[in-house]
Structure 1
Amino acid sequence: MNFLSKKKNILYLIFIFLIISIILSNIATSIKLGEQKKLILDEFDADIIIPDDYLTINEGIKKAEPWDKIFVRSGVYKENIIIDKVGLEIFGENKQNTVIDGGKTEFDAIKIIASNVKIQGFTITNACNEKEELWDISGVKICSSNITIKGNIISYNKLGLSVITPVSNLTIADNNFIDDGILLGNYLVTYTININDFLHNITNNTVNGKPLYYYKNQKDLTVQNDAGQVILANCSNITIEDLYINNCDFSIILGYCLDCTIENSTIYDTNGELFLIKSDNNTIQNNIMINNLHGVCIDFGSSSNIIRYNTIKENNVGISILTTSHHNMVYGNEITDNVYGIYITGYKFRSQHNNTIFNNHVSDNYHGIVASKKSFNNNFMNNSIFKNNIGLRLNDESDGNIISNNLFKKNRLSATFNKCRNNIWYNNYWSRPRLLPKFVFGTRKIGNIGLPWINIDKNPMKRL
């Protein structure tokens, strides 16, 4: 009996000891965490603490002075933040638990319009909207120079981080992008661009757990094929091949690049495009591009590029040639089930010209081929244009184009033009063999209005 009693007492003492140990351990952990938080605050030397001093980050920014430091404690901050004071540093307590939620509104989660700003230690999410014209709503939108974005989780925004031209000297490092990425060279606010818009310090970022490869001023190399996103700046003779990229923004960006090759890759389900800007003599071939904003976009004065043998389907735009881009060749592509199959147009009526579109299969798109906004002297020939709502359309003073030897079959409307004066149509097949000339109906611009007009294919195909 005494033995059992002693055994119970020993077990009881062990139990009490364990309880005391757990309590002391929790106290020690709490003290350690408190010391760590204090250390963070001490190291950061914050001028303003959110929500201690002000409940919202926006209110803290409003009350801050230039070059102040703002510390943000863990929590969810449903705000659309505008940073308009020079030199602010905004530091989150913990990037997993300090969340800036853009709220799926029509505004960016963070928009930086002042220089020398630093953002670190946040999850930045939900800057998105389904309206088509709001395609560039961003988790972080940078509109000024000398900005640092470091150590954040940027996830589930329309665009993760976009950079409005002109800017220089950005540091984008140690960020994890999820369903997001980086867009450099967004010129649609200022309509200007230069090489410094692409030459930044971009290191150690990931997209969907895969490396974001950024190369500047490089030549003669092959990009590793485990990329989550690839950005080339002022590079030449780079090979990008065998990639499998999805659920990001702009999958591949070439800015001021020459003689590069992108091939044998699959790109799907992105909010952006394979994007060439101010880039020449590059080849894009044998790729598959499905369900993107654009499959391929050749933009802002890019010239002499080749786009061939790609399968491009279910995108908003299959292939776009934009804003003064010229002398590009598009051939041998399978372009199906897009809103626009091939779209040649410019912003601010800057002309894009002398591009050659031939031997493509363009079918089951809403618009098969469109040339708009002073797109001139382009050549459309030997294309199979089948089962589109509108096979080919010329708009807005797009003149001097040649449309020849194309097969128009089973389109709801084979071809038309709007506010155009002089294009050349000949030897096309118009749904059936024709002995007589084929009239193409549209409008001609006279003054500021479009009056009904006719173009004529004087020698349509008499047989296939």
Structure 2
Amino acid sequence: METTKARKRNTMGKLNGIMLTLAMIAVFCGTASADTLTVCSSGCDYTKIQDAVNNAAVGDTIFVYNGSYTENVDVSKELTLQGEGADVVTVTAASPDDYVFEVTGNYVNISGFTATGTIGPYIYKAGICLINASHCNISDNIASNNYYGIGVGSSNNNTLTNNNASDNKFGGIGLGSSNSNTLQNNTANSNNYYGIDLTCSSGNMLQGNMMSGNRWNFGVVADSLSHYTQNIDTSNTVDGKTVYYWVDQKDKQIPDDAGYVGIVNCTNITVKDLTLTNNTQGVLFAYTENSRIENVSASNNDVGIYMESSDSNTLESNTANSNGIRGICLERSSSNTLQRNNASNNEQRGIDLFCDSSNNMLQSNTVNSNDYFGIVIGPWSCCNTLQSNTASNNRYGIWLSSSSNTLTKNTVNSNDYGTYLSGANNNNITCNWVHNNTNPGFYLTTDYWGDGSTNNNISYNNIIENGGYYEYQFYNDQTDDVDAANNWWGTTDRDIINVSIHDWNDDPSKGNVTYLPILNDPAPCAQIPDETPTFTTTDAVIALQIAVGSREYDPLYDVSGDDRITSLDVLMILQAATGAIRL
């Protein structure tokens, strides 16, 4: 019995000794796996940061002393890279087409560096970039004079704190397809385009970030509700004004100190009497209903007012001018009312019902001098009503590429093209004043898929002086026939009307345009031109004298616009004097 007990004691003693030995080994090994490697110009373990990274073990710390380093550093394992300070440690890209720091490993910490010189032509090359990386900490760095300062791509659960991402060629801090990250107390100033932008990313937290002097300080770009759902509090600022990003709110009004407004999955929110500039969107409505935007000036943004999957809202008396892409844009948004808004001088489009936006009312809006389009009714957007809008001095006054819409009492004048139909069917286009457009007042053609513009009711419109004084007021550029009867063409002279219509008579491959019967007077339901004649019969006599060379040239009488005065000008002035046409 005693022998058995002694054996047990000896066995337990041996086990305890083994466990103690293993524990001591673990301690020593653990200490060995967390070495600190040093980098400096001389006297340290390494002179290159990348060499230190390559030779470091998982969990090591690399301390970089003051100095300037020229290299592209790739980090694919758990490491801590600690610079002596961003004010004394500068890493410049050896290859400007590559990242300064590229992080593809998890649990990487980078702090105390200035990262600069990634200015190549490839988009999203950044001073510091996380790619498919998680649980990284990027802090106390300066990322400047790069294409992007700091980029986070397909990376989750990372923290960016106290970084300065300013003076970059494109953007300061950008997140793409990245979720549950924390951006805290970062500065993104004076970047050529974006300050901080979140693209297709969910559940990120932003606190205390400052954005100013960027073309577009802040914005969220998404394609689903989850990608719009962020935790962004009012400690964030744009040009010194507060960022309001509300999610799941109702029955509230945005305060008057707002610099950016994002409204997500909300009901009965009012945005009123604000000036919102220099953001990706001045006002963002996403998945929001029964809310109102009124008397807001949203200018110099990428998009002035953007609505995504938002229904039954009212936009009234807003100014959305001089924005980068669009003044007002509705995407997958229906049953909204837009009235008395001004969306002019935008780089692409004034008001854009981008796609799948139906049953909206656009009334008494002004869309002038946009570089491309005044109003666009895009694909799969049906049953909208455009009434009493003015579209002037755009490349295209109204562009229609969908079906079953109503256009009535609009003024479409002085554009390159007046009303342009591309694959647009079964629309009711009546009582509009379409005049003085450089090219045709109406242009009908097929869309990208080869579908024509058919079965439209184009009648009781005043179609006057388009296409350079009656040269192609109406252009049918498709094989389908078009009915354009019962319109006022500015004259009752059928010969003049006929030659102003381009159809199968001019190109046998095109469809016919039926324009008879015509209206003998301007359509009373449309805006009626001033009936006072611009010219008198005396003017016709003067034009004749100039034409035959007995009177000095006067450009006033060159009504045909061909830089000379001929019998054509005389005839047109005489017709204008008798009220048959207007000049």
Is the structural similarity TM-score above 0.5? yes
1:273 Cα offset (Å): 2.3
**Is 1:364 aligned to residue 422 of structure 2?**
no
C-alpha separation between the residues in 2 aligned to 1:169 and 1:162?
Answer: 14
1:311 Cα offset (Å): 2.0
Q: Tell me the equivalent position of 2:196.
A: 161
C-alpha separation between the residues in 2 aligned to 1:123 and 1:458?
Answer: 69
Contact 2:364 2:389 in 1 (8 A): yes
1:454 Cα offset (Å): 4.2
Q: Tell me the equivalent position of 1:16.
A: none
CA distances 1:127-159 after superposition (whole Å, capped 9, x unpaired):
557xxxxxxx77413222222222212233423
Contact 2:318 2:342 in 1 (8 A): yes
Q: Tell me the equivalent position of 2:219.
A: 183
Aligned to 2:198, what secondary structure does the other structure show? strand
**Is 1:252 aligned to residue 283 of structure 2?**
yes
Pick from 403, 408, 424 the counterpart of residue 376 of structure 1: 403
C-alpha separation between the residues in 2 aligned to 1:451 and 1:159?
Answer: 49
Q: Tell me the equivalent position of 2:231.
A: 201
**Is 1:110 aligned to residue 137 of structure 2?**
no
Contact 1:170 1:200 in 2 (8 A): yes
In terms of mean alpha carbon deviation, does 115-124 or 215-224 score higher? 115-124
Aligned to 2:343, what secondary structure does the other structure show? strand
Q: Tell me the equivalent position of 1:394.
A: 421
C-alpha separation between the residues in 1 aligned to 2:258 and 2:287?
Answer: 21
**Is 1:173 aligned to residue 207 of structure 2?**
yes
Q: Tell me the equivalent position of 2:357.
A: 325
Contact 2:292 2:315 in 1 (8 A): yes
1:184 Cα offset (Å): 2.4
1:46 Cα offset (Å): 6.5
Contact 1:255 1:276 in 2 (8 A): yes
Contact 1:357 1:379 in 2 (8 A): yes
Contact 1:46 1:71 in 2 (8 A): no
CA distance change for structure 1 residues 88 and 100 in 2, over 3 Å: closer, same or farther? farther
C-alpha separation between the residues in 2 aligned to 1:268 and 1:401?
Answer: 32
Contact 1:241 1:262 in 2 (8 A): yes
After superposition, residues 61-72 of structure 1 pair within 5 angstroms as: 61-62=102-103, 65-72=105-112
C-alpha separation between the residues in 2 aligned to 1:181 and 1:416?
Answer: 40
Gaps of 5+ in 1: 1-37, 39-44, 130-136, 187-192
Q: Which protein has greater RCO, CA pairs closer than 8 Å, 6+ apart?
A: 1
CA distance change for structure 1 residues 376 and 200 in 2, over 3 Å: closer, same or farther? same
Contact 2:140 2:161 in 1 (8 A): no
After superposition, residues 290-301 of structure 1 pair within 5 angstroms as: 290-293=321-324, 294-299=326-331, 301=332
In terms of mean alpha carbon deviation, does 284-293 or 174-183 score higher? 174-183
Pick from 381, 396, 413 the counterpart of residue 352 of structure 1: 381
Q: Tell me the equivalent position of 2:247.
A: 216
Aligned to 2:307, what secondary structure does the other structure show? strand
C-alpha separation between the residues in 1 aligned to 2:133 and 2:262?
Answer: 28
C-alpha separation between the residues in 1 aligned to 2:421 and 2:475?
Answer: 11
Give the count of matched residue pairs. Answer: 385
In structure 2, give the amino acid aligned to 1:431.
I
C-alpha separation between the residues in 2 aligned to 1:53 and 1:289?
Answer: 42
Output the TM-score relative to the length of structure 1.
0.75
1:425 Cα offset (Å): 1.0
Contact 1:89 1:118 in 2 (8 A): yes
1:426 Cα offset (Å): 1.1
C-alpha separation between the residues in 2 aligned to 1:125 and 1:394?
Answer: 45
1:458 Cα offset (Å): 5.1
Aligned to 1:197, what secondary structure does the other structure show? helix
Q: Tell me the equivalent position of 2:143.
A: 99
1:247 Cα offset (Å): 2.5
C-alpha separation between the residues in 1 aligned to 2:90 and 2:465?
Answer: 76
CA distance change for structure 1 residues 444 and 302 in 2, over 3 Å: closer, same or farther? farther
CA distances 1:385-404 after superposition (whole Å, capped 9, x unpaired):
11111111112x22222211
Identical residues among aligned pairs (%)? 22
C-alpha separation between the residues in 2 aligned to 1:195 and 1:244?
Answer: 26
Q: Tell me the equivalent position of 2:175.
A: 141
Query: Larger Rg: 1 or 2?
Result: 2
Aligned to 2:510, what secondary structure does the other structure show? strand
C-alpha separation between the residues in 2 aligned to 1:108 and 1:383?
Answer: 47
In structure 2, give the amino acid aligned to 1:182.
F
Pick from 329, 336, 339 the counterpart of residue 368 of structure 2: 336
In terms of mean alpha carbon deviation, does 79-88 or 195-204 score higher? 79-88
Q: Tell me the equivalent position of 1:133.
A: none
After superposition, residues 403-422 of structure 1 pair within 5 angstroms as: 403-413=429-439, 414-419=441-446, 420-422=452-454
Contact 2:152 2:178 in 1 (8 A): no
Contact 1:439 1:454 in 2 (8 A): no
Aligned to 1:196, what secondary structure does the other structure show? helix
1:72 Cα offset (Å): 3.8
In structure 2, give the amino acid aligned to 1:318.
G
**Is 1:425 aligned to residue 458 of structure 2?**
yes
Aligned to 1:365, what secondary structure does the other structure show? coil
Gaps of 5+ in 2: 1-62, 64-77, 120-124, 447-451, 467-472, 482-507, 523-527, 529-583
1:456 Cα offset (Å): 4.3
In structure 1, give the amino acid aligned to 2:257.
D
C-alpha separation between the residues in 2 aligned to 1:184 and 1:355?
Answer: 28
In structure 1, give the amino acid aligned to 2:227.
D
C-alpha separation between the residues in 2 aligned to 1:251 and 1:310?
Answer: 15
Contact 1:425 1:456 in 2 (8 A): no
In structure 1, give the amino acid aligned to 2:261.
V
Pick from 117, 131, 134 the counterpart of residue 84 of structure 1: 131
1:124 Cα offset (Å): 2.4
1:206 Cα offset (Å): 0.5
C-alpha separation between the residues in 1 aligned to 2:149 and 2:116?
Answer: 16
1:384 Cα offset (Å): 0.7
1:182 Cα offset (Å): 3.1
In structure 1, give the amino acid aligned to 2:107.
W
C-alpha separation between the residues in 1 aligned to 2:518 and 2:335?
Answer: 31
Contact 1:113 1:144 in 2 (8 A): yes
Q: Tell me the equivalent position of 1:453.
A: 511
CA distance change for structure 1 residues 377 and 160 in 2, over 3 Å: closer, same or farther? farther
CA distance change for structure 1 residues 65 and 269 in 2, over 3 Å: closer, same or farther? closer
C-alpha separation between the residues in 1 aligned to 2:517 and 2:296?
Answer: 41
In structure 2, give the amino acid aligned to 1:218.
Q
Q: Tell me the equivalent position of 1:14.
A: none
C-alpha separation between the residues in 2 aligned to 1:159 and 1:427?
Answer: 48
In structure 2, give the amino acid aligned to 1:194.
S
C-alpha separation between the residues in 2 aligned to 1:323 and 1:386?
Answer: 25
CA distance change for structure 1 residues 286 and 73 in 2, over 3 Å: closer, same or farther? same
Contact 1:123 1:153 in 2 (8 A): yes
C-alpha separation between the residues in 2 aligned to 1:128 and 1:444?
Answer: 49
In structure 1, give the amino acid aligned to 2:230.
H
CA distances 1:276-307 after superposition (whole Å, capped 9, x unpaired):
000001111111222012111111x2100111
1:102 Cα offset (Å): 3.2
C-alpha separation between the residues in 2 aligned to 1:127 and 1:443?
Answer: 48
